[in-house]
Amino acid sequence: MTPAERLYAGLADPQSLADLDAEAWNGVIRVARAEMLMGTLGTRSMGVEILPRARLLLDEAVATAQVRQAAARYELSKIAEAMRDTGIPVILLKGSAYLATGLDAVAGRNIGDQDLLVPEADLNRAETALRAHGWQPAKAKGTYDDDYYRRWMHELPPMVHETRGAVVDLHHNILPRTARLTPRPDLMFAGRVEVEHGLFVLSPEMMLLHCATHLAYDGDFLGGPRNLWDMDRLVRTFTGNEGFWDRLQMAAAAHELTAPLMRALRLAAHLYGTPSPGAMRGRTDIVDRLAIAKLYGHDAYGRQRRHGAAFALFVRGHWLRMPPLMLARHLTTKWRARRREARAAGR
């Protein structure tokens, strides 16, 4: 088995981790760190007897995730406060939504940026409300980047809180305007579910669809194992709901997201044995095979992604000038911004 196979098997069936020796763990830890699944593996493996040093490293990742989740919860309350008097319905997306709903997908997960969906007509008002509460656009208004986001993207440029450094991404749809598929935000708002602080999340089927869409549009299946794990957790949470699969199928058709949904279900079944009705998965195609090669294609160091020399130079320059604390904080922000730009450019 390759380290990636062991990781996916370990997430699906934590007992399988009990058999791993130190060298197997060394491979699994590299892939788990590269794919941001270390904290998740840490929570999944609790109660399983594994090597003590592996336990130590997993517990560190879990503790980090817990601190980040607490901070993310705080951000949610502050966002709610900023939006309270506007009357704008705010739907939390992805990690923020799993956190606010207490879904299984959140266990051990590092939550950074807050992703919010608001009606397009309210976008400017929402931005104004956030600005009044300290979130400022990371890109100066009128610059090329700012213009690019506003014209072509399904979100505004990231907004960064002036004192806390927390990042909010304000979306008006779940796919860029440039995408061929056109999900319908009106239906998303119609089906929204209220959670804490007067904030909302997507309906279960829409939440799953959004997750599936991400996988297909994140380019190069970057972050695929993490995303598919979310799929797996969501499916297992919702599959018991009466009529869930029918509603999912109808929602997929209404939003023209049937193809990405089927692919995501196929890949999740491949990695984690995620259950779904056969008709919802469809047939394997060439893209699946490429994706699978990618999803299992880590070397012994968990290496998969390649970043350009520009990033390399950026970090080098900063390591020399900045105290490491600042570096850590600054880098995570920059790093996230960079990933987003890569996504926006379709790379």
Partner 1 sequence: MSEQALHAGISAYSLDPDIRIERLEDLSLAFHRQSGETHVLAADTEIILSTLGDTPLSAQDIAARLVAEHGALESEDGDPLTLIEARLQELHRLGIALRRPSA
Partner 2 sequence: MRLRIGPAIFDLRSPFRRSVGHLAELYRDYPQGMDGEVYDFAVRARPISPLRRWVRPTIVFDADFMVEDIVPVEARLGLLGFEMAINMQMALGYRREIVFHAASAAKDDRAILIVGDSGAGKSTLSALLSYQAGWRHMGDELALLTFGPEAVLRPYPRPIGLKNESIAVMRALAPADRFGPLLTETVKGTVQHLLPPQSAISTMDEPARPALIVSPRFRASVAPEQRRMTQSEAYLRLSVASTNQLTLGEAGFETLVDLVRNVPAYDIVYGSSEDALSLVDDLWREAR
Residues in contact with partner 1 by the rule CB under 8 A: 67, 70-71, 73-75, 78, 134, 163-164
Identify what 329 binds: partner 2, partner 1, none; CB under 5 to 8 Å per kind: partner 2
Question: CA 132, 137, 142: angle at the middle one, nearest 5?
Answer: 115
Residue 79: CB minimum distance to partner 1, A: 13
Q: Determine the Cα–Cα distance for residues 49 and 52; give it in Å rounded to an integer.
A: 8
Q: Determine the Cα–Cα distance for residues 14 and 108; give it in Å rounded to an integer.
A: 14
Residue 12: CB minimum distance to partner 2, A: 22
Q: Quick check: 331 binds partner 2 (CB under 8 A)?
A: yes
Q: Determine the Cα–Cα distance for residues 202 and 191; give it in Å rounded to an integer.
A: 7
Residue 222: CB minimum distance to partner 2, A: 13
Question: CA 284, 278, 12: angle at the middle one, nearest 5?
Answer: 85
Q: Quick check: 25 binds partner 2 (CB under 8 A)?
A: yes
Q: Quick check: 18 binds partner 2 (CB under 8 A)?
A: no
Please answer whether residues 149 and 105 qualify as being in contact, where contact means their C-beta atoms are separated by less than 8 angstroms.
no
Choose which of 22, 121, 286, 345 interacts with partner 2 (CB under 8 A): 22
Which residues in 267-306 contact partner 2 (CB under 8 A)?
A: 301-303, 305-306
Closer to partner 1 at the Cβ: 73 or 247? 73
Identify what 51 binds: partner 1, partner 2, none; CB under 5 to 8 Å per kind: partner 2
Comparing CA positions, the residue from 305, 270, 263 lying closest to residue 287 is 263
Closer to partner 1 at the Cβ: 77 or 178? 77
Choose which of 328, 341, 346, 347 interacts with partner 2 (CB under 8 A): 328
Options 66-74, 101-109, 136-144, 215-223: segment touching partner 2 (CB under 8 A): 66-74
Within 10 Å of residue 263's Cβ, how many Cβ atoms?
20
Which tokens go with 235? 């499916």
Question: φ and ψ at 174, to 5 degrees?
Answer: -100, -5
Q: Classify 302 in phi/psi space as left (phi over 0), alpha (psi -120 to 50) or beta.
A: left
Q: Determine the Cα–Cα distance for residues 9 and 24; give it in Å rounded to an integer.
A: 13
Contacts to partner 2 by CB under 8 A:
21-23, 25-26, 29-30, 33-34, 51, 53-54, 56-57, 60, 63-64, 66-68, 70, 301-303, 305-309, 311-313, 315-316, 319-320, 323-329, 331, 335
